[in-house]
Amino acid sequence: MIAYIAHRLVQTIPIVLGVAVLVFVLFSAVGEDPVRLALGAHATPETIADLRNRWGLDDPLPLQFVKFLRQIATFDLGESYNTGEKLTTIFRRGAGVSLSLTVPPFLIGILINVSIALLVAYYRGSWFDHAATALFVGSMSISYLVYIIAFQYLFAFELDWFPISGYERGVASIPYLILPWIIIVVVSAGPDIRVLRTVFLEETRADYVRTALAKGASERVVLFRHVLRNALIPILTQWVTSVPFLILGAFLMERFFSIPGLGDILINAIHTGDRPILMSLTVLMAIGYSVFNLITDVLYAYADPRVKLS
């Protein structure tokens, strides 16, 4: 097991390196000049030269890349171009905010979606199944943006049940977050339930299902006791894989509701050309993605003894 984990961690090194190269090339070699973006069109040559020097942009590109790699390796990420604040501080603050936005609907969504998917799988082939499928495909066919705009307009502006946008630290943030939570749950229902339904139906073809039915267990018992437990293994691993994306937050949501999470920080960085934020955040996300993929595989082997790690 430990050898496997070590092997996998070594395997992620070339991938993270690849991400670092890609991101570095995209933003340093081809992207817009951040100094011009920061100083505007009327900057004097002296201030431009001064800023370039301060940001280390006069170094040759390979040296800049090595510096960038060292920052990633030591987790000493340097400062933002715009605010001069340390990136680690910005990211820690942003990640907390993003998690408060994404974790509650993620957990609520799991509960709701599994229940509905079981129900739909139980009544498969009936009018209820067909109606539910049509409804979920329909809900997937509306742009995410339209959900946000319509819900914000209806529930915050017209009905005035929730504040339109904003954020406060700690428990005071909850009133601001309820509407975004609802939207995330609603939007994720369609795709999640369709996948879950397929997983459940796939599982009903297993031999143990036939055995359980043959010994006289009712279809309900088979579905809720046997199938649910077995299907939870692939489902669980799927959820673990999506954890790093929770940290990044729902960036569109953060933009519409003025929630200062990582997604919002990222979009702002794109518009202002804040390279340190863009590059570090992307590489950190890639590392997180690789690590959680590894966790998924280990969990899978742990939950299902038939799976051998090699």
Partner 1 sequence: MRPVPTVGDPVARPGRIRGGRLFAALRLRKYVLVCVGVVVAYALVALAGYAGLLPDFQERVGASYEPPSWHLSRILGTDIFGRSVLYKVLVGTQTAMTIGFVVAAISIPIGVVLGAVAGYYGGKVDAAVVWVYSVITSIPSILLIIAIAHVLGKGIGSVCLALGVVGWVGLCRLVRGEVLKQKGREYVLAARLIGASDLRIIWRHILPNVLHLPIVTASLSILGAIKSEVILTFLGVGIENGESWGAMIQDATGELAQGIWWPLAGVTVAMFAIIYALNVSGDALRDALDPRLSD
* Closest among 156, 142, 112, 126 to 258, alpha carbons compared: 156
CB-CB contact of 275 with 56 (8 Å): no
Both tokens of residue 197? 């339904």
Residue 125 in contact with partner 1, rule: CB under 8 A: yes
Interface characters, 5-34, with partner 1 (x: CB under 8 A): ---------xxx-xx--xx--xx--xxx--
C-alpha 31 chain-centroid distance: 25
- Give the largest CA-CA distance in the chain: 86
151 touching partner 1, by CB under 8 A: no
- Site residues for partner 1, 67-86, by CB under 8 A, read none
CB closer to partner 1 out of 14 and 62: 14
Could you give phi then psi for residue 205, rounded to 5 degrees? -90, -5
The contact pattern for partner 1, residues 164-203, with x = CB under 8 A and - = no contact, is ---------------------------------xx--xx-
| 170 secondary structure, DSSP code | G
CA distance 97 to 259: 8
- Residue 251 lies near partner 1 (rule: CB under 8 A): yes
> What is the identity of the amino acid at 106?
F
Radius of gyration of the chain (CA): 24
Q: How far is the CB of 153 from partner 1 (least distance, A)?
A: 5
Query: Rounded CA gap, 108 and 236, in Å?
Result: 15
Contact 173, 100 (CB under 8 A): yes
Smallest distance, Å, CB 112 to partner 1? 21
Q: How far is the CB of 160 from partner 1 (least distance, A)?
A: 13
Interface residue with partner 1, options 9, 63, 149, 221 (CB under 8 A): 149
Residues that bind partner 1 (CB under 8 A): 14-16, 18-19, 22-23, 26-27, 30-32, 124-125, 137-138, 140-146, 149-150, 153, 157, 197-198, 201-202, 204-205, 209-210, 213, 219, 222, 245, 248, 251-252, 255, 266-267, 270-271, 278, 282, 285-286, 289-290
